[in-house]
Structure formats: structure tokens, C-alpha cells
Structure 1
């Protein structure tokens, strides 16, 4: 009896400048936004929850060289979402690469026809273990614009856009392990609980990272609120602060605010 080669079905996920994970679901979300012009309708079509859809858009916009999706005014409820030309080109490029990816997997399946099933299972398990996900709500990427050796630690400046930089302080051993160098693309992760907010531009603070933006969403909880800021570049920053603090500061959608976090709160990663 001839054994039929096991077929690998490709679920393409890209790691790089366009996002922490540019996956099938996220591409479908982009495509549906292009069709519907509404984040809620696009989320239902994928399907995703409304919050998961916005989280995915924020992550992609933060990692992309240009925004893939923008908020626009004039929708049915006074606002909507729009897929940019750059977003359309990314989706089209993904679909083209997806076709080539499946062809390559089909060829691989044929070549592995003589390999035992246990070996293939081990290979698949390894691929799953190597897939990295992070719980950090704020995820960014960009080239290293500056490195300063402090003896036991390194100060790393990450260029987000023409106006904004992130500063991270990591150990010298970590910097050497990541093989950091000027111009190298790196990822930066910041937990939302590490982000503070202020609204006074005259206030002087020691936090090295200070990013001003517009409050675009406040999700209220019984104890904590989640506040999302849209930066001028189209990227976003999310902070989790107490509900009482949100009330005391009088935070509201449309208000200008600054996201503050220490350089030691920024975790760096590279993709080789």
C-alpha cells in the first residue's frame, strides 16, 4: 500500500515591521474594513469581538511604517474606520505571498512522504513552541537610533517616527545577547499597567518616555479603567489606571493627554 504524504495547510503569520503578527485573521479584518468602512461590522464578519478587533488594529498600526487603518468622521454614529492605500497594499501582498507559501508547503509534503509520522508530529510541535506571543498591551517596532554604554547597563533609543522615540534601559549582557546596533530593527513592549497619564504640559516628570496624544477610548471598569491614546503618527498607547484617578483627572475622549513610562519598563526583543 502506498502511503499518501501528509499535507501541511498553511496559516501564514508574518513577523516584522508590518506587525507583531500579520495573520489570516488580521488580514480578513483589514479586508472587511475596506468593504464595510465600519470596525463593528468588520469584526462581526471575521468574526472577532469589537475589543479584539481594535486591539489588532492598534497593534498593526503601531508596528507599521504607515497606518493601515484610520479613524474618520461622518459615519452613522458620527465616526467610522477606513482602510488606507498602504493597508490595501499590505493585504494584497499578504494574499500573494500566501499562495506561494501553500505551493511551497505542498512541495514539502511530497518530499516528506518517506518520513515517519512521529517525526512530522515532532516538527509541528517544535513550530508551535517557537511561536511567541506576549501579554504586553503596548507593542512597537522601529530602528535603533542611539546606544549608550553605561557600564552595567545600556540606554537604547528606538525611533518610532520623525517626532517620537522610545528609550529603554537594559543590562549590558542583554544588549550583547540581542546583538544591538544602530539601525537594527527591534520590538519594544510596555505593559499598560506601567503607563501613567497626565494632562499638564508644564508638569516636569522624571519618566524618560513621554508621548502626547488624543484620548480616543475609555473602557470603564469597577476598579480600573483602560485609556487609549492616539499619537500623531497613528500609533496608540494604552494605560490602565484606577477608575477614581480617571474621574479625578476628568479624562474624556477627545482630550489631549501624555502617556508616561520609565525606560526600565520598556522590554526589547529582536526577530532573527
Structure 2
């Protein structure tokens, strides 16, 4: 009689929802093999838009980009996994293998399964599991915390060259127990982000992020535009289609995404 074997289908979840799943890992692996998000999406399979959105979220919430990409050019651009992305995939697959081996041991001897130390990986999973309707989701340490009457000005580091500044009430800052160095999430609705083309323009908005247009989804009334920053993080805005046309927005163009500090929502994971 053939022995029963349990097959592992690993999904790493928290109370906030799903973090990493086999589908997302297969997307990363397909990008590494094919060098193209569109080809990787077909291989998974999943929609091209869903693949782009997944990569944007992964890159924005991870401490380093998992995927880097280029747009335009004679070859039409491409994408590839970073070394950090490969390490994350390898960690997931290693955990999956351990999971399968644990199930095999359970079937054979029903012994207790010992848990591995994956603190850094769990931290990234927490980031991936947080669900929000905000299109722009970032994470980073608090690098500035300035009281101003009933408000606090909070600076959040995205990478070596970019910060996001938020203004929240003193009560909110105390409720979140904010402190320098604490990891937080920053959410910005795409409708709160605006575009500027002129590098000499002076803006009152505290947050000004320059990047290259990497994605354009045009609709009859509004158009969604995504910029990729030099670090690999992305910012998405929604502007009217007429404005997009009049500004001459196109793939590969360097533009500025700007938004008010009051448009940034801060959250923490406890």
C-alpha cells in the first residue's frame, strides 16, 4: 500500500492577511528567467496590470527593490530581479522545502516540528500583508520628529536620497508611539499626487519626488501614471487624460510627483 504524503502549498499569512504566496514568488522567478514583466505575467499566469501592481507594492515596502526595470529603447525595456530579490525568493523556497520536509517527518513519525529563526523575513512579510486602498504604500524608519504646536512633522526615509514628510496631530503621534528609528508605513492616495515637468518650478508641497515615467494607463477621463525613482521605488498618480496629453507625458520622461505633507497617512505594525 502506498504511503500517504502531504504536499506543501505554503502561504505566509498574518492576522492582517496574506503576505507571500507561491503566486508572487513564481512571478519573481519568472521575471528572473524571462527578463520581462509581461512575459512573466503570462507564465504565472496573471494579468499584466496585476503583475505591475504586485511589483510596485513589493518594491515600495521592501527595504531594497526586488525588481529593477528599464522602459523604452530599441528593445522595449526589460526587468530583472535584484540580488536582494533573489535572496528573498531563495529564502521562501528554503522555507517551503523545510515545510515539506517537516510534513514528511510528520507523516512518518508525527514528531514535533521545530521553528527556524527568520526574523528579517518575517519583517518583510508584515509589510507585504498590510492591506490599504492607497495606491502608494511606502515603509521606512522615522528620521525626523519635530513638534509644532498641536502637530508633529514626521520625516520617513525611503532611501538614501528621498524622504516623505507627513504632518499629523500630536495625539496621533503619541497614539502611534512614534520615535526616531521606528519603522512605519506611509500611505498616499494616487489622487493626492500631482505632476510637474519643469525642474525650475517652485512648489509649496513638501514632498517632491523626481523619477522617470515607467507606466501609463489611459482612460477616457483619467490616466494613471507611475514613476520609478532612482532607488527603484515607485510613485503613482491619477491625472485627467486631457492634462496628461497637454503635458506631453510619455514613457521614459523625467517628471516630478509632488504631494502635500497633510496627504500622507502614517501607520505602524505592532
Partner in structure 2 of residue 36 of structure 1:
34
Distance 1:41 1:223 in 2: 29
Partner in structure 2 of residue 167 of structure 1:
165
Moved more, 64-73 or 38-47: 64-73
Tell me if structure 1 keeps the 8 A contact 2:142–2:155: yes
CA deviations 1:244-263 (Å, max 9, x no partner) are: 11111111111110001011
Tell me if structure 2 keeps the 8 A contact 1:63–1:141: yes
CA deviations 1:211-261 (Å, max 9, x no partner) are: 001111211100000111111111110100000111111111111100010
Shift of 1:68: 1.2
Partner in structure 1 of residue 51 of structure 2:
53
- Taking structure 1 as the reference length, the TM-score comes to 0.80
CA deviations 1:91-116 (Å, max 9, x no partner) are: 11122234456749x98xx89xxxxx
Partner in structure 2 of residue 11 of structure 1:
11
SS of residue matched to 2:26: helix
SS of residue matched to 2:12: coil
Shift of 1:181: 0.6
Partner in structure 2 of residue 258 of structure 1:
256
Partner in structure 2 of residue 120 of structure 1:
none
Tell me if structure 1 keeps the 8 A contact 2:69–2:78: yes
RMSD after superposition: 2.7
Distance 1:73 1:260 in 2: 22
Partner in structure 1 of residue 184 of structure 2:
186
Partner in structure 1 of residue 267 of structure 2:
269
Partner in structure 2 of residue 158 of structure 1:
156
Distance 1:196 1:73 in 2: 21
Q: Which runs of 5+ in 1 are unaligned?
A: 1-7, 112-130
Query: Post-superposition, which runs of at least 4 consecutive aligned residues in structure 1 deviate over 6 A?
Result: 73-76
Moved more, 31-40 or 256-265: 31-40
- The number of residue pairs the alignment matches comes to 240
Partner in structure 1 of residue 135 of structure 2:
137
* 1:1-272 alignment runs, 5 A limit: 10-13=10-13, 21-72=19-70, 77-100=75-98, 103=102, 132-272=130-270
SS of residue matched to 1:187: strand
Distance 1:266 1:212 in 2: 17
